[in-house]
């Protein structure tokens, strides 16, 4: 065949392919509005990041779906629930000059990673992550702010230093020591309510967006631990006696009361909703609350014998059933000051149906296989200081997320000395 005819034929094929591609694109872009909206909500049910990418496909899809920008914090449907900030290690905290304002996040369910430009971290400190929303403290005045990392939406709250009168002689450093925080938001009235429980305090602080100062609960908690935020509420264990099991307390969101034309906030007292399996004089157990597949689980394990590990559903304990859960599927539970549920399908080095914790006696990161009842290391090497293997496994990065102090400072747990933050003021 002459070269001219070959060239002509090739051009015709390219034009045909381009025409077909344009036709396919046009057909997708011309989907009915209600169908695009339905697909969008289905995508959002999986992950808000996928929803943002879905809306970016074309103008028609954007016009048929609700924008998360402007309501990423106030509308709970747009919360990036399974996203967690990745601790970089080596002291590269968010806002470090070497990171140039970039922060990396990863998804605990899908294993997806994303790198975002967040200039705000240069003059703010990250204190916590609640449903994927970052809890920030502004350096110059300790003001609290909630940041949606994917939309850039910010909601302002009072400065934390308004809580100093309730903290006795403790230093301002303790204002950053967050034990738990919980967000309650409603797209209808655009209001956001925030509860914060600080370590070394016996009361819960709460405020509404736009308030000038924090309020504190009229009641106190003296032996509470392992707090868990879940669906706008706080769940906490309270050990009232030396033996016997602790009680599970539920703290509901602040109530908005209308008094003489003004709105006042009131925090209901905690209520006991379940009793944990009992300790005995011969067996001392530790207890952890963790969210897993939209359920709250209670993990108990013996301090002296780590093979005595059991998992219970809180819903079962509330109903009076104390039958342990025998399998958590492909999930792995990471236990620390903050407890996480991670999908082993997303991270090949993580074992499913397991519980990861720090083995205090032998100084290594252990995993307990729930079905087989066996104990093994999560990776080679000890996690203490110089014995920690390098390069670090993703397991060590995830486990560091269970300890806010190291997580916010860019350290990996046990990697190096942890230094206290310095207060910055104008």
Output the pLDDT for position 282.
64
Helix axes 33-46, 48-55, angle to 10 degrees: 150
Sheet holding 247-251, edge to edge: 224-230, 233-238, 247-251, 271-275
- The answer to whether 412 and 87 are in contact (CB under 8 A) is yes
DSSP state of 83: E
Every domain of the chain and the residues it spans: 3-64, 322-426
Q: Token pair for residue 266?
A: 């009131």
Q: How many other CB atoms are found less than 10 A from the CB of residue 187?
A: 13
Residue 22 has, within 13 A of its CA and on its CB side, a CA count of 6
Output the pLDDT for position 187.
67
If pLDDT is split at 50, 70 and 90, which confidence band does 171 have? Answer: low
How are beta strands 215-216 and 247-251 bridged, if at all? unpaired
Question: Is 395 strand, coil or helix?
Answer: helix
Sheet holding 113-117, edge to edge: 83-85, 102-107, 113-117
Output the pLDDT for position 258.
76
Considering the chain, what is the average pLDDT of its residues?
Answer: 86
For residue 146, give the nearest of 134, 137, 158 by alpha carbon. Answer: 134
Please report which residue ranges of 261-338 form alpha helices under DSSP H: 314-318
Q: Which residue has 């792995």 as its token pair?
A: 332
- The answer to whether 286 and 300 are in contact (CB under 8 A) is yes
424 has pLDDT over 90: no
How distant, in Å, are the alpha carbons of 115, 238, 388 from that of 44?
20, 36, 39
Question: Is 362 strand, coil or helix?
Answer: coil
Q: How many other CB atoms are found less than 10 A from the CB of residue 405?
A: 17
Question: Residues 283-317: pLDDT tens digits?
Answer: 678 899 999 999 999 999 877 666 679 999 999 99
Alpha-carbon distance 248 to 314, whole Å? 9
- The answer to whether 235 and 289 are in contact (CB under 8 A) is yes
What are residue 87's phi and psi, to 5 degrees?
-75, 125
* % of the chain with per-residue pLDDT over 90: 63
Q: Which residue has 């190096």 as its token pair?
A: 416
Question: Residues 64-107: pLDDT tens digits?
Answer: 999 999 999 999 999 999 999 999 998 999 999 999 999 999 99
Output the pLDDT for position 281.
63
- The answer to whether 155 and 73 are in contact (CB under 8 A) is yes
Average pLDDT over residues 337-341: 96
Is the full-model pTM beyond 0.75? Answer: yes
417 has pLDDT over 70: no
Output the pLDDT for position 256.
83
């Amino acid at each position: 065949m002459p070269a001219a005819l070959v060239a002509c034929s090739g051009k015709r094929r390219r034009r045909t392919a381009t025409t077909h591609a344009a036709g396919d694109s046009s057909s997708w872009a011309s989907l009915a509005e209600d169908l695009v909206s339905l697909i969008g909500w289905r995508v959002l049910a999986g992950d808000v990041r996928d929803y943002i990418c879905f809306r970016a496909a074309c103008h028609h899809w954007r016009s048929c779906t609700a924008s998360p920008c402007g309501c990423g914090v106030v509308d709970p449907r747009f919360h990036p629930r399974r996203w967690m900030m990745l601790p970089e290690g080596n002291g590269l905290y968010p806002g470090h000059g070497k990171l140039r304002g970039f922060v990396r996040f990863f998804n605990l369910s899908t294993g997806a990673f994303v790198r975002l430009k967040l200039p705000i971290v240069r003059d703010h400190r990250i204190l916590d992550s609640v449903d994927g929303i970052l809890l920030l403290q502004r350096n110059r005045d300790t003001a609290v702010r909630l940041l949606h990392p994917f939309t850039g939406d910010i909601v302002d709250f009072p400065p934390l230093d308004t809580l100093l009168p309730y903290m006795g002689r403790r230093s301002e450093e303790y204002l950053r020591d967050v034990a738990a925080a919980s967000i309650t938001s409603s797209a209808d009235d655009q209001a956001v309510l925030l509860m914060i429980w600080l370590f070394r305090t016996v009361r819960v602080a709460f405020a509404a967006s736009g308030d000038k100062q924090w309020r504190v609960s009229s009641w106190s908690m003296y032996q509470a631990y392992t707090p868990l935020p879940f669906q706008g509420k706080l769940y906490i264990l309270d050990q009232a006696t030396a033996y016997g099991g602790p009680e599970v307390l539920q703290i509901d969101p602040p109530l908005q009361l209308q008094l003489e034309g003004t709105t006042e906030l009131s925090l209901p007292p905690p209520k006991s909703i379940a009793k944990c399996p009992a300790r005995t004089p011969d067996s001392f157990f530790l207890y952890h609350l963790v969210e897993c597949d939209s359920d709250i689980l209670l993990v108990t394990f013996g301090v002296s014998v780590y093979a005595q590990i059991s998992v219970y559903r809180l819903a079962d304990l509330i109903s009076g059933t104390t039958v342990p859960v025998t399998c958590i599927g492909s999930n792995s539970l990471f236990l620390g000051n903050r407890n996480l549920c991670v999908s082993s399908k997303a991270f090949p080095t993580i074992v499913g149906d397991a519980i990861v914790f720090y083995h205090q006696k032998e100084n290594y990161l252990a995993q307990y296989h729930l079905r087989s009842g066996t104990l093994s290391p999560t990776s080679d090497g000890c996690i203490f200081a110089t014995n920690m293997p390098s390069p670090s496994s993703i397991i060590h990065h995830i486990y560091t997320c269970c300890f806010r102090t190291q997580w916010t400072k860019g350290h990996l747990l046990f990697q190096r000395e942890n230094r206290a933050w310095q207060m910055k003021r104008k």
